[in-house]
Amino acid sequence: MKTQKIKNWLRGLSPHVILIIVCALWLLPTFGLLVTSFRPVQDINETGWWKILDAPKGEKEYNTYCAECHGKDGKLIAEADLSNPELVQKYRRSFTLIVLLKKEIDGKPHLGELEVPDENISANIATYMRRISGIESRPRFTLSNYIDALVGYRGNTTYKEDCAAGTQAVDLFCDTRDLGNARGMGRAFLNSLLVAIPSTILPILFAAFAAYAFSWMDFKGRQWLFALLVGLQVVPLQMTLIPISRLYAQLGLNGTFLGIWLFHTGFGLPYAIYLMRNFLGSLPREIFESAYLDGASSWTAFYQLAIPLSLPAIASLGIFQFLWIWNDLLVALVFLGGEHPVLTYQIGNMVTSLGSGWHLLTAAAFISMALPMIVFLSLQKFFVRGMLAGSVKG
């Protein structure tokens, strides 16, 4: 009975509603991660991101115990101005504060009728006093996580603070040159781009040539060759790591960008050719025939007809290939390693060497997510068309 009811209820929901719920379910944690990446480390360690709108720490306790006499801003008693940094500095620690509160003023308890707060509450009140006095003005949002991740800073405090104090733990210049630091995400971002762009363009370019030949040019063994290509798609990438890295060692290509471009091109090609051929092959034959009749060469037909017509397929292939390479760790680890660290490699390093410093990871995750999102959103239109074009053959 009950399951029937649930089923009916589910059927009543429109697909749109379900889609929105599913999107919300996974967008919420993403949003949380984004908010977290902009929070100061101490806040991240103390409270969850959904608490960002809460009152500052200790405000509640301060209001119950102290606001009555000292005022909301701590300035009400002129000779005991709690917004005076020098005074507050003396009561930075909770036990000094407790001692003070236990002392009587003119024979009466400092807090009047209220009991002296315990260790924890005093600590929170001390924190709040530091905040209203301006000794410790921690902003709610900061770019520190991003800056630290970009320059690869792994000190106890932030890069900015340590640079200002002149006590930075790693040898950095404390200026814009640090953006290129080999341990930072900034450099890794560039490396990822350097890997991904040629590795996306090259296979698609060659695949377009090959697909054109497979669909519109007659040559011997065409079917056999195409069957072989389809078969090549099942070769697992891991199987080729050893032979190729040995070959690269002989050619001196290990740890070079050229090596990784060639690898990705080789692995991208079979699927790219397959998809492009299906797409080009589904175009009406008459277009090409009339072009040939008009005296166009194969080359003209290729770049004036085939390429513009297959833009949707090229775009969707481009997105897939780009995303796969951008997120790839295995190939980058084996063929580039630490020589030219890419984003995935650098993120991996952050996790293992930091453990507790995962606040950097939040920023690093967004740095590495930014570009795929832009690529996806800007090519989305083509993407849907390309998907349809690949599946529904005319």
Instruction: Compute how many other C-beta atoms are within 10 angstroms of the C-beta atom of residue 372.
Output: 15
Task: Point out which span in 108-116, 147-155, 280-288, 301-309 binds ligand HEC (CB under 6 A).
Answer: 108-116
CB 79 to ligand HEC: min, Å: 5
φ, ψ of residue 13 in degrees (nearest 5): -70, 140
Given the complex with ligand HEC, which of 75 and 385 has the nearer CB atom? 75
CB 139 to ligand HEC: min, Å: 24
Given the complex with ligand HEC, which of 110 and 385 has the nearer CB atom? 110
Residue 149 burial class via C-beta count within 10 angstroms: exposed 0-12, middle 13-18, buried 19 and up: buried
CB 77 to ligand HEC: min, Å: 5
Angle at 203 between CA 208 and CA 330, to 5 degrees: 155
Tell me the one-letter amino acid at 184.
G
Closest CA to 196 of 269, 271, 260, 240: 260
CB 128 to ligand HEC: min, Å: 9
φ, ψ of residue 323 in degrees (nearest 5): -65, -40
Q: Which two tokens stand for residue 29?
A: 């944690």
CB 88 to ligand HEC: min, Å: 7
CA 188 to chain centre: 13
Given the complex with ligand HEC, which of 86 and 294 has the nearer CB atom? 86
> Distance between CA atoms of 386 and 317, rounded to whole angstroms?
8
Lay out the site mask for ligand HEC across 21-50 (x = CB under 6 A, - = otherwise).
------------------------------
Tell me the one-letter amino acid at 13.
L
Q: Indicate whether 91 belongs to the interface with ligand HEC (CB under 6 A).
A: yes
CB 47 to ligand HEC: min, Å: 22
Lay out the site mask for ligand HEC across 48-87 (x = CB under 6 A, - = otherwise).
-----------------xx-xxx------x-xx-x----x
Given the complex with ligand HEC, which of 51 and 72 has the nearer CB atom? 72
Of 111, 174, 193, 369, the one binding ligand HEC by CB under 6 A? 111
Task: Point out which span in 1-9, 95-103, 270-278, 300-308 binds ligand HEC (CB under 6 A).
Answer: 95-103
CB 140 to ligand HEC: min, Å: 23
Given the complex with ligand HEC, which of 130 and 277 has the nearer CB atom? 130
Closest CA to 226 of 261, 299, 298, 275: 275
Residue 50 burial class via C-beta count within 10 angstroms: exposed 0-12, middle 13-18, buried 19 and up: exposed
Cβ-contact 38, 143 below 8 angstroms: yes
CB 57 to ligand HEC: min, Å: 14
Cβ-contact 335, 243 below 8 angstroms: no
Task: Point out which span in 103-111, 209-217, 232-240, 311-319 binds ligand HEC (CB under 6 A).
Answer: 103-111
CB 149 to ligand HEC: min, Å: 38
CB 108 to ligand HEC: min, Å: 8
> Distance between CA atoms of 239 and 262, rounded to whole angstroms?
16
Of 110, 154, 160, 385, the one binding ligand HEC by CB under 6 A? 110
Given the complex with ligand HEC, which of 111 and 194 has the nearer CB atom? 111
> Distance between CA atoms of 209 and 73, rounded to whole angstroms?
73
Which residues ranging from 169 to 188 are in contact with ligand HEC (CB under 6 A)?
Answer: none
108 beta partners: 105
- Beta-carbon contacts of 114 under 8 Å, excluding residues fewer than 6 positions away, are 64, 65
* Size of site (CB under 6 A) for ligand HEC: 19
Q: Which two tokens stand for residue 23?
A: 């999107």
Binding footprint of ligand HEC on the chain (CB under 6 A): 65-66, 68-70, 77, 79-80, 82, 87, 91, 97, 100-101, 105, 110-112, 125
